[in-house]
Chain A
């Protein structure tokens, strides 16, 4: 808040301030400033939050001048001042010290009129150089300068361009200045704000709004454990996300809105519906077969991010939770999906191990730190209402052949032929042809194009949120409620999320404060769509539907009067999409409460202690019919029952973190020191009740009581980690910083001998512009860091023991049982270790017109717990071994340019790019070529880790070729496959990044973001099926008379053998010869377009709105370039890294169009 220290208050404190002798005293900075005002009869303007909480210690008796007083009082405060008028001083932060105002809509910089002590009639201050006095300027211009929140802005310098005549705004932001003529240009300036030149153009009143110069400010960064640090002291890379980025162009899962925006952070929205998972990888993935999810921390305390994504074929262990009993491959969402973006005040992404070292084991893949709101941006009471609406249009990228229709072996289904349904190896379309489907339904034999668009509906997301805040001098609170209603593109899929958030902070005394936040969310996800598999999977059935199969026929004939699916294809696992739509259901409901409370006590001015307890609790009820009664792919039930499978489960999860932290700050001459010491106890418990029943007594009554065979499960998991940690920072003259941390973790999941692990980090930062002065470079910093982190994250509880299980149902009265699962236990697992070195530099040049942040890192992950596929002849499928080693190397850059900047037009261009390569150095041994399989494709092909190669190699059989590279064909004309699986390359992108351009023309803000991921490969299951079913355009080859493959026969002669067309293309399935469907997975997309306008200045004075801002938003706007046929490379949704690149048909991606309306009262 802008405020002038008050005379009245000053009286009380001035005595103390004035009367002391030589003793050192300590008092509030605010009081000191008030005293100066009264002593020297001047006005001192400052923003409240700059001064609040600051204390000063001085030994000076009296000040000879106000300047001397200010010099002394502000000495170590990071603030400085400017004399803006004869009796008027303005305080602002020193460069590099200012709290960055986040640049968000809800900036805390809003002035509050009530806090102004001076009446609007206060004198208008004018300063003029004596030499100008002689000149008589007759034209007087008055006006008002507003800050970015529309409040009067005191202390702004106004200069008549080309003269030394100037003025300063008063406490209300008003000014008056004499100018030579109507063509004069006024220059408005204030430190930390963009200078604006305004032509008077014969006006007598000129009003302007100052804009924060974001690039000029340096941030305070919230680092691990919620410790705030000046950004320049950091020796590692962090990225700060503006809350605008989350709220204006929003997505149901908040992280998806950040795709392409943060250097080095790879975010994939999975094509799994609005309640689905967001896959986030920071600096690539390092774990060979385990999990790579970043830790989510809210207000300093970790929350759970359990992933209920779909992971069929995941052979390794990444602790993702699957679905029981088959028939359901939907994405049940993750922990991030329950966060309301409106509650986010700031989000900081800690990328490297050094940044995250204090979080220890769970932070090995980086940390996403979210700070939620605890007060408003104005004194008193504030109300903000936000409405966001987007309409999601499904995008159809299929480019199938429509020359030959439904059928097999070149024959269309005509009586008495079979129904084909999923094959398009029929006859050439000719006018007047018909074919027979569904036992005698005769329909025209014509192409059916656009069924993707016809089947799916437009999705809709509507978010209403309202935030109430109360802010006073000693604290505040923020209460918000938000409702997100989402309609998925699958016509029966809806997602609703209600969140209630309360954040608060209060200073009970200058020494004692407390704060906290509580977040309650309720999510209901109905009928999250199945993807990737066959049974009940709408996208797979639809994308492979014979190209002359009319949708209305499928719809009208989905099931008979009883409700049994009518067989439309001999391929019964390709359930009729309309049967799935009408008969299968799934309800997921999650109630979640997370939050924490902290108390902080200042034992001494330089020593404080904080205690904190945080809990994340959720319960999740889920029920679904894996196989609805009457599904054609299921066998009938025994007499007296109807078939079907139904599952009902309930999970409860609780994580409690208890921690304490001592912090000490002390300055010794040129050296500033900062020590922290703390400890944490983490305890997690989750349990599960699940009952699955098969076959029912009463049809369509999906309850466990109604089931014939019942299979109940109860499971309980508990784990705990104890930690002690500390850090020490030494700063030399505010330009050289050295920080070290040490942490010891004790893991309950490991054996006594392996339980404890100690790991250090050290980082240094050198602000070279503080010592090297250059006109070109305004700010420059070099940083270097090394950190180690240990982790048990890929070790589940109890993974040291082999468990046995007895099947729920007896076989003819006798029990049947055996070892649980296919993973061999290993009792000797140790924590894995990560060592990461990073160097970086930051530059700010040409007064923030150019800023550059570059980081390079090398991360070595050793002792990885490798979940390796082993020979099943051993009896087991996988085992966990502590031998994996991998290295990530990469560079991240963030370059911001401001090519144009004047009073009416600003163009800012931001380019971020990250290059990352991860190499597997060791698996069971470090022999090059040694490999493990971590995941298998639903259809054919697999994902491997191979020593000496890039991580995540896609492998499958390829074409056998001769020495000249020609394909070799067998005598029957079919291609011969390679004797062994071949590696087609890594599925991981090497390059990710984005290019954002924002333009602001007289308050109209327009921005667009282009993002890219390049350099990865994919095995496309959609194209696999499109090929074997005759939909892919390449299968047009050989429709008449068969295919003569281009290559040689086994004798080396030119191949002349003719292969039947269907058999020729079916080799992808029958021979697992997947080479034809391996693609480059890269893309360039126009990701977001936003157009915003702030209507506040057009609002009449007498109305309740404080600000009104409207944005038009578009998401996933345009595919600029891709390499894979028929699909969006992003449209598949396995959350596991062990399945990366193993595409199997997911939901079509959508283009979102909508608006965001933000109203403040």
Chain B
């Protein structure tokens, strides 16, 4: 066996990698997976499909585990796996302190989405398969996870240093320390506000700490800039297998129409006279807000046919859609954290008196402007002129009496296509006020969480079982801790 060690050494594969390259993979993994369109975006009644099978989800308020597990798989396998590896490889190397702390921030972001989606999830022991040989991690309660997320974001953001190595290969901010700090603080603000019902004291404390240094301009938005090789997952689905199967939901379209919102023209399309999917061609496309008809909630295929007839459409393929050639085109960016969202959270914080700078209205107006400009940035054909913005704000002035409702309804619009955030904030704030999904076969009137993956039930049964017995049944009705 002379030479066996050499023989068993791979000559063509790498055994190490610059951690920033791996952090890029993790950051890319933050992009919202396609199944968020089946659940989260539908739960908040913005986009739905009448189709069953794999598309069963918030359209019927039914548990379709092929889709409920997708967040889990995406955030653990693509984000936590890589961030954990980066963290364990860099934590003791002072020269790599910045990339270490950036990884902690990205990881905290992923954990926030995970716990918001499912409630109890593996946290302390997660992502430690390689470093600590933990193959079947225990679950932590959301109540215990949130303080740790907050602590991570706080510490990691603070530890980022201009004197350390600047990771220019970073896909989020080219390694810019101030921008990463603002991103960390924005997540901190988000985490703090999440606890507004369940632990206002902590919430206030965190928000107050984070507020002074969050992203406030679109130029600082945390976004994945998709390109031809790394396309937007939702954009990809809406341009391929499900090109003609998802529609803007009536509550969303109706709200935008009722408020004369110029964003409707920027995001919606209807294919006039389309009788089938393939007839949804650019030639008969129209973005005229007046003729956009949202698909009513709670319809299966047969119901949609009736609804289309009732609305006087040629077929249900004529219902309004999110325009896959503009706003959900293949290379459309994924907005992870935006100035608009932050401004709205600050508006609410100011309204609650948790922060003292600025006025609620100022935050509110700037948030609306920021989101409209954000949409303009996606595609020239979605540009919203300043005049339209002004007109909208004039027509829909801020009303302090309805502050929470207005702010969180705007948050709903601002978080369009950011399913996990729209879903979380809807549950937390209770706004906008949406009607129950009337589908006759629904399992719940509202979806409060998504169900665990079958794989966890299969291989990590003991731990998931303990989580279920503490948290409540593994169904769509059980509420997560901060929602109770």
A879 CB within 8 Å of chain B: yes
Q: Interface of chain A, helix or strand or loop or mixed?
A: loop
Contact for B8 among A708, A797, A979, CB less than 8 A: A797
Q: Judging by beta carbons under 8 Å apart, are B459 and A804 in contact?
A: no
Stretch of A142-150, A817-825, A856-864, A1100-1108 with 4 or more beta carbons under 8 angstroms from chain B = A817-825
Q: Judging by beta carbons under 8 Å apart, are A719 and B15 in contact?
A: no
Question: How many angstroms from the CA of A1071 to the CA of B279 in the assembled complex?
Answer: 33
Question: How many angstroms from the CA of A842 to the CA of B479 in the assembled complex?
Answer: 69
Tell me which residues across on chain A come within 8 A of B125, comparing CB atoms. 873
Q: Judging by beta carbons under 8 Å apart, are A816 and B443 in contact?
A: no
Stretch of A120-128, A185-193, A210-218, A565-573 with 4 or more beta carbons under 8 angstroms from chain B = A565-573
Question: How many angstroms from the CA of A798 to the CA of B443 in the assembled complex?
Answer: 49
Contact for B28 among A573, A798, A816, A933, CB less than 8 A: A816
Q: Give per-residue flags for A684-714: 1 if the beta carbon is below 8 A from chain B beta carbons, else 0.
A: 0000000000110000000000001100001
Closest to B123 in A: A873
Interface hub of B121, B134, B228, B279 (most chain A Cβ within 10 A) = B228
Q: Give per-residue flags for A1059-1094: 1 if the beta carbon is below 8 A from chain B beta carbons, else 0.
A: 110110010011110000000000000000000000
Q: Judging by beta carbons under 8 Å apart, are A873 and B302 in contact?
A: no
Q: A874-B126, A1062-B52 are in contact. Are A636 and B239 (CB under 8 A)?
A: yes
Q: Judging by beta carbons under 8 Å apart, are B228 and A638 in contact?
A: yes
Q: Judging by beta carbons under 8 Å apart, are B77 and A804 in contact?
A: no
Q: Give per-residue flags for B42-74: 1 if the beta carbon is below 8 A from chain A beta carbons, else 0.
A: 000000000111101000101111100000110
Q: Judging by beta carbons under 8 Å apart, are A806 and B278 in contact?
A: no
Q: Give per-residue flags for B131-142: 1 if the beta carbon is below 8 A from chain A beta carbons, else 0.
A: 000111100000
Q: Judging by beta carbons under 8 Å apart, are B240 and A634 in contact?
A: yes
Tell me which residues across on chain B come within 8 A of A283, comparing CB atoms. none
B157 CB within 8 Å of chain A: no
A1158 CB within 8 Å of chain B: no
Question: How many angstroms from the CA of A800 to the CA of B236 in the assembled complex?
Answer: 37
Q: Give per-residue flags for A727-761: 1 if the beta carbon is below 8 A from chain B beta carbons, else 0.
A: 00000000000000000001111001001100000
Q: A633-B240, A872-B72 are in contact. Are A816 and B21 (CB under 8 A)?
A: yes
Question: How many angstroms from the CA of A820 to the CA of B77 in the assembled complex?
Answer: 12
Tell me which residues across on chain A come within 8 A of B82, comparing CB atoms. 818-819
Q: Judging by beta carbons under 8 Å apart, are A1063 and B53 in contact?
A: no
Question: How many angstroms from the CA of A822 to the CA of B275 in the assembled complex?
Answer: 44
Q: Judging by beta carbons under 8 Å apart, are B1 and A871 in contact?
A: no
Q: A411-B305, A803-B15, A870-B135 are in contact. Are A709 and B457 (CB under 8 A)?
A: no
Contact for B10 among A566, A694, A797, CB less than 8 A: A797
A932 CB within 8 Å of chain B: yes
Contact for A805 among B14, B134, B245, B302, CB less than 8 A: B14
Q: A748-B8, A816-B230 are in contact. Are A439 and B122 (CB under 8 A)?
A: no
Q: Judging by beta carbons under 8 Å apart, are B278 and A566 in contact?
A: yes
Q: Give per-residue flags for A780-810: 1 if the beta carbon is below 8 A from chain B beta carbons, else 0.
A: 0000000000000000011011111111011
Q: A439-B279, A869-B459 are in contact. Are A879 and B129 (CB under 8 A)?
A: yes
Would you list which residues of chain B between 415 and 473 have a CB under 8 Å from chain A?
440-443, 453-461, 463
A775 CB within 8 Å of chain B: no
Tell me which residues across on chain B come within 8 A of A720, comparing CB atoms. 4, 7
Q: Judging by beta carbons under 8 Å apart, are B24 and A811 in contact?
A: yes
Question: How many angstroms from the CA of A518 to the CA of B71 in the assembled complex?
Answer: 56
B241 CB within 8 Å of chain A: yes
Q: Give per-residue flags for A659-683: 1 if the beta carbon is below 8 A from chain B beta carbons, else 0.
A: 0000000000000000000000000
A812 CB within 8 Å of chain B: yes
Question: How many angstroms from the CA of A445 to the CA of B474 in the assembled complex?
Answer: 44
Contact for B129 among A708, A810, A870, CB less than 8 A: A870
Question: How many angstroms from the CA of A816 to the CA of B127 in the assembled complex?
Answer: 19
Closest chain-A Cβ to B239's Cβ sits at a distance in Å of 4
A409 CB within 8 Å of chain B: yes
Q: Judging by beta carbons under 8 Å apart, are B454 and A803 in contact?
A: no
A1143 CB within 8 Å of chain B: no
Tell me which residues across on chain A come within 8 A of B460, comparing CB atoms. 870-871, 873
Chain A residues within 8 Å of chain B by Cβ, number = 100
Tell me which residues across on chain B come within 8 A of A572, comparing CB atoms. 240-243
Q: Judging by beta carbons under 8 Å apart, are B8 and A1066 in contact?
A: no
Q: Judging by beta carbons under 8 Å apart, are A804 and B302 in contact?
A: no
User: Which range holds the interface residue count of chain B?
Assistant: 35 or more
Closest chain-B Cβ to A339's Cβ sits at a distance in Å of 29
A162 CB within 8 Å of chain B: no
Q: Judging by beta carbons under 8 Å apart, are B17 and A817 in contact?
A: yes
Q: Interface of chain B, helix or strand or loop or mixed?
A: loop
Closest chain-B Cβ to A761's Cβ sits at a distance in Å of 23
Q: Judging by beta carbons under 8 Å apart, are A942 and B458 in contact?
A: yes
Contact for B24 among A411, A755, A804, A814, CB less than 8 A: A814
A1161 CB within 8 Å of chain B: no
Q: Give per-residue flags for B228-269: 1 if the beta carbon is below 8 A from chain A beta carbons, else 0.
A: 111100011001111111000000000000000000000000
A519 CB within 8 Å of chain B: no
B378 CB within 8 Å of chain A: no
B290 CB within 8 Å of chain A: no
Closest chain-B Cβ to A475's Cβ sits at a distance in Å of 38
Contact for A980 among B80, B129, B240, B461, CB less than 8 A: B461
Q: Judging by beta carbons under 8 Å apart, are B236 and A981 in contact?
A: no
Tell me which residues across on chain A come within 8 A of B474, comparing CB atoms. 979
Q: Give per-residue flags for A449-479: 1 if the beta carbon is below 8 A from chain B beta carbons, else 0.
A: 0000000000000000000000000000000
Q: Judging by beta carbons under 8 Å apart, are B308 and A817 in contact?
A: no
Stretch of B182-190, B196-204, B310-318, B361-369 with 4 or more beta carbons under 8 angstroms from chain A = B310-318
Question: How many angstroms from the CA of A695 to the CA of B228 in the assembled complex?
Answer: 10
A11 CB within 8 Å of chain B: no
Q: Judging by beta carbons under 8 Å apart, are A801 and B10 in contact?
A: yes
Closest chain-A Cβ to B283's Cβ sits at a distance in Å of 14
Tell me which residues across on chain A come within 8 A of B17, comparing CB atoms. 804, 806, 817-818
Question: How many angstroms from the CA of A440 to the CA of B463 in the assembled complex?
Answer: 54
Stretch of A17-25, A414-422, A907-915 with 4 or more beta carbons under 8 angstroms from chain B = A414-422
Closest to A752 in B: B5
Q: Judging by beta carbons under 8 Å apart, are A873 and B127 in contact?
A: yes
Q: Judging by beta carbons under 8 Å apart, are B458 and A439 in contact?
A: no
Closest chain-A Cβ to B444's Cβ sits at a distance in Å of 11
Tell me which residues across on chain A come within 8 A of B8, comparing CB atoms. 718-719, 748-749, 797-798, 800
Contact for A874 among B134, B313, B442, CB less than 8 A: B134
Closest chain-A Cβ to B447's Cβ sits at a distance in Å of 14
Q: A748-B4, A970-B443 are in contact. Are A1072 and B127 (CB under 8 A)?
A: no
Q: Judging by beta carbons under 8 Å apart, are B456 and A410 in contact?
A: no
Question: How many angstroms from the CA of A932 to the CA of B134 in the assembled complex?
Answer: 15
Report A's interface with B, CB cutoff 8 A.
Answer: 408-411, 415-419, 439-440, 566-567, 570-573, 632-636, 638, 694-695, 708-709, 714-716, 718-720, 722, 746-749, 752, 755-756, 797-798, 800-807, 809-812, 814-820, 822, 824, 868-877, 879, 931-933, 940, 942, 944, 955, 957, 970, 972-974, 979-981, 1028, 1059-1060, 1062-1063, 1066, 1069-1072
Report B's interface with A, CB cutoff 8 A.
Answer: 1, 4-5, 7-18, 21-22, 24-26, 28, 51-54, 56, 60, 62-66, 72-73, 76-77, 80-82, 84-85, 121-122, 125-130, 134-137, 169-171, 225, 227-231, 235-236, 239-245, 275-279, 300-303, 305, 308, 313-317, 330-331, 440-443, 453-461, 463, 474
30 of the cross-chain contacts (CB-CB < 8 Å) are: A415-B315, A418-B317, A566-B278, A635-B239, A715-B13, A747-B4, A748-B4, A749-B8, A797-B10, A805-B14, A812-B171, A814-B24, A814-B171, A817-B17, A819-B22, A869-B455, A869-B459, A872-B453, A874-B137, A875-B76, A875-B128, A879-B135, A932-B459, A940-B66, A955-B458, A972-B442, A1062-B300, A1070-B64, A1071-B65, A1072-B65
In the A-B complex, the 9 residue pairs with the closest CB atoms: A874-B129, A409-B302, A416-B315, A875-B81, A804-B17, A870-B135, A635-B239, A873-B122, A748-B4
Given contacts A801-B15, A873-B125, 19 further A-B contacts (CB under 8 A): A415-B275, A416-B308, A416-B314, A418-B277, A570-B51, A632-B240, A635-B236, A636-B239, A638-B331, A811-B230, A812-B171, A814-B170, A870-B135, A871-B455, A872-B72, A942-B454, A1060-B300, A1062-B52, A1063-B60
